[in-house]
Every structure is written in structure tokens, then in C-alpha cells.
Structure 1
Amino acid sequence: MIRVVALYKQPEDVDGFMRHYEEVHTPLVRKVPGLAGLEVTRITADAFGGEAPYFLMAVMTYPNRETFDAAMRSEENRAVAKDLMSFARGLVTVMVGEDVE
């Protein structure tokens, strides 16, 4: 399984950010071909008692490398990337991982 993890820092306008994320960005992500799952988590605390460095985490899953590669080349994914930079530039870190089991 391939996972794309997006970590978002605290936005200045939380309500505006979440409105765009839920009404515009998430529907675009769901259109990416081959997407097997999307989980969005609002970060509420740091486990060690400090301030959490992130506000939101999204994990998108793809069943295998071939499906993931095709998804990343799709027009739908280009739309996701364009939208992401329109509202989260400087706030988001995106990583790709592969299950090791």
C-alpha cells in the first residue's frame, strides 16, 4: 500500500481554511483515480505536552505503486496540486510512504 501524508501547520484563518478544505479541496482529492482511502485527522495535542507542530493530517491510500503512479499523472491530481498551492502554500508538507509489511 502507498500512502500520501499531508501535514498542515496552523492556518491564520482556521474557519476559512477548513471551509475551503472541506468544500473544495476534499472533493477534488476524492476524484483522483485509484484513491483507495482518505482519512483526515484534526491534531488536538502533542503527546509530550508541548504545542502540536501541526493542525491537520490527511492520509490518502493507494493499493500499489502502479495505481499511485497513474494517479499522480492524472488531470485530477493536477487539479488537487493547483488547489493545494492556492490555499496551503507554506503550510503543508506532503510525504509519500510505502507499507513495509
Structure 2
Amino acid sequence: MTVKLLALYRKPQDVDAFLAHYNDVHMPLIAKVPGLQKAVVNRVDKTLMGDNPYFLIAELHFADQAAFDAGMASPENRAAGKDLMSFARDLVTLIAVGEQSA
């Protein structure tokens, strides 16, 4: 079963500065995490029901729980986490999910 880390970001005050750091600094760090199969960044345009608390939703895909655990424990992920806390500590919620087919 594919395991994903989802990063749910609320809208920052300075969108341009956030996106510049996110794309130029943070995502290159994420790309180095061992076992990462792909990273998908989704920009939230609107909600179909209720209020929209999110600006971006990032998905980090790993083949299975073992790959996820190894990636999360890696020095590369610790570096990405340290960076995340430097620019988005108050904006991000991180959750781990297992992908299931319908």
C-alpha cells in the first residue's frame, strides 16, 4: 500500500515570498528524501462545500510503510523538516495516510 505524507498549508501573509522559498529551497530538500517516489503539490483554488482553510496541499508518495519510515528517519528529511519549521511552522499540518483503491 502506498503511504503518503500530506502537508496541508494555510494561506501565508506573503504568498510570493512563501512560494519562492517553497519552490526554490524547500522542494529541492524534499527531492533528496530517500525512498520518495514522487511529490505532488496541489494549489487549492476553491472548496465545493464549507470554508477553505488551505492554500496548498503537498503529497509525498512512498511505496510502503517501510520506505516511508526510512525516509522520515533520514538526515535528508530532518533537513527538510528543519527548513519547514523555519518558514511554515504556523501554517502547516502534517498527516500520514495509506492510499486505498476504491
- Normalising to structure 1: TM-score of the pair? 0.94
Contact 1:44 1:52 in 2 (8 A): no
Alignment RMSD? 1.0
Q: CA deviation at 1:5?
A: 0.4
Distance 1:62 1:95 in 2: 14
Aligned partner of residue 12 in structure 2, secondary structure: coil
Distance 1:13 1:62 in 2: 31
Distance 1:10 1:99 in 2: 26
Unaligned runs of 5+ in 1: none
Length, aligned pairs only: 100
**Percent sequence identity over matched residues?**
47
Contact 1:5 1:57 in 2 (8 A): yes
In structure 2, the residue matched to 1:30 is 31
Q: CA deviation at 1:52?
A: 1.6
Matches within 5 A, 1:3-22: 3-22=4-23
Deviation track 1:34-87 (CA, whole Å, cap 9, x = no partner) reads: 001110011111112x54210001000000111111111100000010000000
Residue 57 (1) aligns with residue 26 (2): no
Aligned partner of residue 70 in structure 1, secondary structure: helix
Unaligned runs of 5+ in 2: none
Q: CA deviation at 1:99?
A: 2.2
In structure 2, the residue matched to 1:92 is 92
- Normalising to structure 2: TM-score of the pair? 0.94
Q: 1:51 to 1:62 in 2, by over 3 A?
A: same
Distance 2:44 2:15 in 1: 13
Aligned partner of residue 40 in structure 2, secondary structure: strand
